[in-house]
């Protein structure tokens, strides 16, 4: 039996926020704020947002979508360096059990924050969809910070 090896790539998305790096960083670890943007979809309802904000801690977000039912997103925090860097492993078990790696880098940018997200290990056939998804999430983060 021949095993098929799927090629992977990397997605990078950057945004600027009118908030301090500390505030943008903290949004990723606060379940009440993160539920408003992290893996939330415009037509879905976030029904579960749990975060254990420590290295080795886990997170689970479950979004109920009319077209897909409940979609669970899980991960493990690998690095937490406030307010500079967050690194975590990530998976959507119902669709792809393998874990990928996301690195978030936060930097002061004028009065605000520059955020760069790097998602490694994305299967090539999901690169465009993943880039768009992270763009949507980072745009929703701006709205969550403004609220």
Q: How confident is the model at residue 2 (pLDDT cuts 50, 70, 90)?
A: low
Q: Are the CB atoms for 15 and 142 separated by under 8 Å? A: yes
Specify if 5 maps to a domain: no
Q: Is residue 82 part of a domain?
A: yes
Please compute the mean of the pLDDT values over residues 20-40 and round it to a whole number. 96
Report yes or no on 69 lying in a domain: yes
- The tally of domains found in the chain comes to 1
Domain contains 1: no
Domain presence at residue 2: no
CA distances from 60 to 11, 14, 21, 24, 37 (A): 22, 24, 24, 20, 13
In a domain, 3, yes or no: no
Query: Is the residue at 90 inside a domain?
Result: yes
Dump pLDDT digits (tens) for 41-100. 888 899 999 999 999 999 999 999 888 889 999 999 999 999 999 999 999 998 888 899
Give this prediction's pTM: 0.92
Domain that holds residue 35: 10-146
Neighbours of 13 (CB within 10 A): 19
CATH number at residue 106: 3.30.530.20
Q: Is the residue at 67 inside a domain?
A: yes
What integer best gives the mean pLDDT of the chain? Answer: 93
């Amino acid at each position: 039996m021949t095993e098929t090896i799927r090629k992977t790539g990397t997605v990078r998305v950057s945004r600027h926020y009118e908030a301090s790096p500390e505030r943008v960083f903290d949004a990723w670890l606060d379940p009440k704020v993160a539920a408003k943007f992290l893996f939330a979809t415009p037509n879905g309802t976030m029904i579960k947002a749990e975060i254990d904000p420590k290295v080795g801690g886990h997170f689970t977000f479950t979004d109920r979508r009319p077209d897909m039912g409940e979609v669970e997103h899980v991960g493990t925090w690998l690095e937490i360096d406030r307010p500079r860097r967050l690194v975590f492993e990530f998976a959507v078990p119902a669709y792809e059990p393998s874990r990928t790696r996301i690195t978030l880098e936060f930097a002061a940018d004028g009065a605000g924050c520059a955020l760069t997200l790097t998602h490694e290990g994305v299967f090539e056939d999901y690169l465009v969809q993943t880039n768009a998804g992270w763009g949507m999430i980072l745009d929703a983060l701006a709205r969550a910070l403004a609220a």
